């Protein structure tokens, strides 16, 4: 599908800002409208030089605001919507689930309704493998795996997926859902495993590992996720779901040890802390359908990706300082109490 103007939502967040960069670099004729309300996880510093591009229009606002979404769709004559905007952190959903329903469910519904009313040609929902629940020691999630979300975060994402499906089934709207595994790379807010561990290790602070550290995630470098989303948007079939994954299953402890080795820090920094309630044990994605039907495959190996991610965080202390001032400190004080173990 060829488009002249895309509305990207949540484009000041981790994956969204990487995706905006990707579009501006790879699609020289495309206009990108970027709607982001700038929560703690969204930061204009993550958009850097994109803010100077005449083809990038940043708008501060919420996907739950129907009037603002309607005006943007009309004003820019948007012909495709790609929805990244979300509350994305599982731990926060456990302590405060309401905003997850507000943004992830109501926000997606608002966007769908306005996109439909504006005759937007295609709507892509950026979803997650967490909607499938947790795996045992073997197997992987396919697009046929029943949804069985376990956390308030994944339940809200599954709710959004059901709404996207319903808009396709009921109204014949052209929709795509992508479900991706754990991303890592530049501009990820340091509440997530990899940037948090890099940041703490560099400051010789304890690295808080949940439970026994043997929960497994399937890691994908963020630029590979961006390429997959764009391939799904352009070449996917209406109404379809595409799983996206890196075939990089790793126990958390292995990642934490790798980061310590890269940074020349001692394993004594590892601190086992109370497990995340309802912690999903293992995720693994079968991305065979995306590889076959979209002609997509990851380009970055885990070894390359983790080395360049660590290097990026080491070289971008100013960005880290900017995004962690204020709210971050309060969040960790709440998570870890007076012991403040992560800081
Ligand atoms: P993030 O938390 O880094 O960024 C989310 C962005 O959405 C922020 O810029 C925030 O300001 C914005 N936002 C929040 N509420 C909004 C609202 N009401 N209106 C407009 N903007 C709003 O998240 P991320 O890690 O970049 O994830 C992006 C999307 O990808 C999410 O939908 C997430 O569920 C999905 N996803 C993430 C991963 C991952 O590993 N990070 C993997 C699979 C899928
Ligand atoms: O699978 C895709 C999902 O990946 C996305 O949908 C989510 O938006 C994204 O946040 C991510 O969810 P996870 O819960 O898997 O990511 P997180 O980085 O929070 O945790 C990764 C693993 O590391 C998980 O098993 C919990 C563990 N962990 C995490 C933190 C923050 C720790 O052991 N210690 C920590 O301090």
Surface-to-core class of residue 289, CB atoms within 10 Å of its CB (0-12 exposed, 13-18 middle, 19+ buried): middle
Q: Which of 93, 133, 191, 192 maximizes ligand 2 atoms within 8 Å of its Cβ, making it the mutation to test the pocket?
A: 192
Burial profile 137-151: b = 16 or more Cβ within 10 angstroms, e = fewer: eeebbebebebebbb
Active site residue 130: yes
pLDDT band at 326 (very low <50, low <70, confident <90, very high): confident
pLDDT by residue (tens digit) across 224-237? 999 999 999 999 99
For the chain, what percentages of helix, strand and coil (3-state, to nearest 5) are there? 45, 15, 35
pLDDT by residue (tens digit) across 75-115? 999 999 999 999 999 999 999 999 999 999 999 999 999 99
pLDDT band at 201 (very low <50, low <70, confident <90, very high): very high
- Dihedral of alpha carbons 277, 96, 341, 38, sign: positive
Q: Does ligand 2 have an atom closer than 6 angstroms to the CB of 181?
A: yes
Say what the pLDDT of residue 159 is: 99
State both tokens at 146.
Answer: 């029943």
**pLDDT surpasses 60 at 343:** no
Cα–ligand 2 centroid distance for 278 (angstroms): 12
Determine the straight-line distance between the first and last CA of the chain, rounded to whole angstroms.
47
Surface-to-core class of residue 154, CB atoms within 10 Å of its CB (0-12 exposed, 13-18 middle, 19+ buried): buried
pLDDT by residue (tens digit) across 2-31? 899 999 999 999 999 999 999 999 999 999
Closest ligand 1 atom to the C-alpha of 16?
Answer: 26
> Taking the model in full, what pTM does it have?
0.97
pLDDT mean across residues, the chain: 96
Can you tell me whether residue 59 is helix, strand or coil?
A: strand
- What structural domains does the chain harbor? 5-184+219-244 (3.40.50.720)
Q: Does ligand 2 have an atom closer than 6 angstroms to the CB of 208?
A: yes
Surface-to-core class of residue 77, CB atoms within 10 Å of its CB (0-12 exposed, 13-18 middle, 19+ buried): exposed
pLDDT by residue (tens digit) across 33-70? 999 999 999 999 999 999 999 999 999 999 999 999 99
Can you tell me whether residue 132 is helix, strand or coil?
A: helix
Active site residue 129: yes
Least-confidence region, from 162-171, 208-217, 272-281, 319-328: 319-328
Say what the pLDDT of residue 332 is: 64
Of 159, 168, 147, the C-alpha closest to 237 is: 168
pLDDT by residue (tens digit) across 210-268? 999 999 999 999 999 999 999 999 999 999 999 999 999 999 999 999 999 999 999 99
Cα gap 135→137, rounded to integer Å? 7
pLDDT band at 336 (very low <50, low <70, confident <90, very high): low
Question: In percent, how much of the chain has pLDDT > 70?
Answer: 95
Say what the pLDDT of residue 205 is: 97
Active site residue 336: no
Cα–ligand 2 centroid distance for 211 (angstroms): 13
Can you tell me whether residue 218 is helix, strand or coil?
A: strand
Cα–ligand 2 centroid distance for 264 (angstroms): 24
Say what the pLDDT of residue 14 is: 98
Cα gap 290→218, rounded to integer Å? 16
pLDDT band at 333 (very low <50, low <70, confident <90, very high): low
Cβ atoms of 9 and 85 within 8 Å: the answer is yes
């Amino acid at each position: 599908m060829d488009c002249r103007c895309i509305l990207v939502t949540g484009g000041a967040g981790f994956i969204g800002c990487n995706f905006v960069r990707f579009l501006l670099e790879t699609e020289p004729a495309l206009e990108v409208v970027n709607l982001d309300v700038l929560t703690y996880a969204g930061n204009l510093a993550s958009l850097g030089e994109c803010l100077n591009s005449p083809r990038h229009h940043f708008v501060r606002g919420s996907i739950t605001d129907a009037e603002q979404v309607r005006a943007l769709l009309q004003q820019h004559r948007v012909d495709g919507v790609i929805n990244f905007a979300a509350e994305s952190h599982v731990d926060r959903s456990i302590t405060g689930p309401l905003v997850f329903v507000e943004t992830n469910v109501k926000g997606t519904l608002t966007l769908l309704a306005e996109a439909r009313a504006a005759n937007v040609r295609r709507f892509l929902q950026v979803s997650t493998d967490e909607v499938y629940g947790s795996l045992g020691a073997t197997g992987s999630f396919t697009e046929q795996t029943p949804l069985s979300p376990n956390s308030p975060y994944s339940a809200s994402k599954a709710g959004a997926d059901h709404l996207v499906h319903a808009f396709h089934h009921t109204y014949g709207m052209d929709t795509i859902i992508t479900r991706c595994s754990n991303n890592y790379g530049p501009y990820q807010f340091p509440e997530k495993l990899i940037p948090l561990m890099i940041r703490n290790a560099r400051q010789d602070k304890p690295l808080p590992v949940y439970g026994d550290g043997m929960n497994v995630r399937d890691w994908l470098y963020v630029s590979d996720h961006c390429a997959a989303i764009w391939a799904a948007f352009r070449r996917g079939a209406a109404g379809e779901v595409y799983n996206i994954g890196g075939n990089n299953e790793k126990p958390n402890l292995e990642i934490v040890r790798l980061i310590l080795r890269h940074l020349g820090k001692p394993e004594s920094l590892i601190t086992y802390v109370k497990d995340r309630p309802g912690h999903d044990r293992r995720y693994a994605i079968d991305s065979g359908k995306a590889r076959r039907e979209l002609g997509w495959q990851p380009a970055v190996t885990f070894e390359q990706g983790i080395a360049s991610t660590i290097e990026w965080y080491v070289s971008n202390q100013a960005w880290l300082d900017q995004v962690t001032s204020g709210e971050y400190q309060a969040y960790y004080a709440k998570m870890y109490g007076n012991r403040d173990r992560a800081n």
